[in-house]
């Protein structure tokens, strides 16, 4: 059985160092472990922005965002 798809929601216009570090950490972790994922840049992809807003809880739409199998597993600190 194939693992559930992982969708990663990022932004290329991150001005906060902590946000950039979290995004880089997740990207490196997935790449090193060779876990397939699809990433979306919310700064330039309106469809991805709508998907993220629809799937993530309204009070936890912080970035970086992750969906596993189309479901929100929690915030960065909860993972």
Q: What is the pLDDT of residue 14?
A: 78
Beta carbons within 10 angstroms of residue 1's beta carbon: 3
Cβ–Cβ under 8 Å, residues 67 and 53 = no
Specify the pTM: 0.88
Tokens of 59: 């009070």
Report pLDDT digits (tens) over 21-43: 999 999 999 999 999 999 999 99
Residues of the chain with pLDDT under 70: none
Beta carbons within 10 angstroms of residue 70's beta carbon: 10
Q: What is the pLDDT of residue 61?
A: 86
Residue 62's nearest CA partner among 5, 9, 25 is: 9
Q: What is the pLDDT of residue 75?
A: 82
Contacting residues for 20 by C-beta, under 8 A, at least 6 apart: 14
Using DSSP's 3-state secondary structure scheme, residue 67 falls into strand
Q: What is the pLDDT of residue 15?
A: 83
């Amino acid at each position: 059985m194939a693992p559930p798809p992982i969708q990663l929601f990022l932004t290329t216009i991150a001005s906060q160092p902590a946000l950039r570090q979290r995004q880089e950490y997740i990207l490196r972790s997935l790449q090193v472990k060779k876990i397939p994922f699809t990433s979306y840049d919310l700064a330039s992809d309106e469809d991805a922005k709508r998907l993220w807003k629809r799937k993530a809880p309204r009070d936890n739409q912080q970035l970086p965002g992750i969906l596993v199998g189309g479901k929100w597993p929690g915030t960065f600190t909860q993972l």
